[in-house]
Amino acid sequence: MPFQTYECQHCDSEFKAFEDANAAQNQFCSPRCEVDGKGL
């Protein structure tokens, strides 16, 4: 299974992840962007 390219919901940068990875499903490129994007 090849990597896919996604765009981070928080910082708009592109990142690569496996289709079934948490990063691909949440569409955040890093834990920091996920925390900031969700307002945690």
Domain ranges of the chain: 4-38
Q: Which residue, 37, 6, 33, 34, is CA-closest to 20?
A: 6
pLDDT higher than threshold 90 for residue 4: yes
User: pTM (2 decimals)?
Assistant: 0.79
What integer pLDDT is reported at residue 1 of this predicted model? 72
Contact assessment for residue 27 and residue 11, using Cβ atoms and an 8 Å cutoff: no
Give CA–CA dist 31/23, Å, rounded: 9
Average pLDDT, the chain: 94
21-38 confidence digits (pLDDT tens): 999 999 999 999 999 999
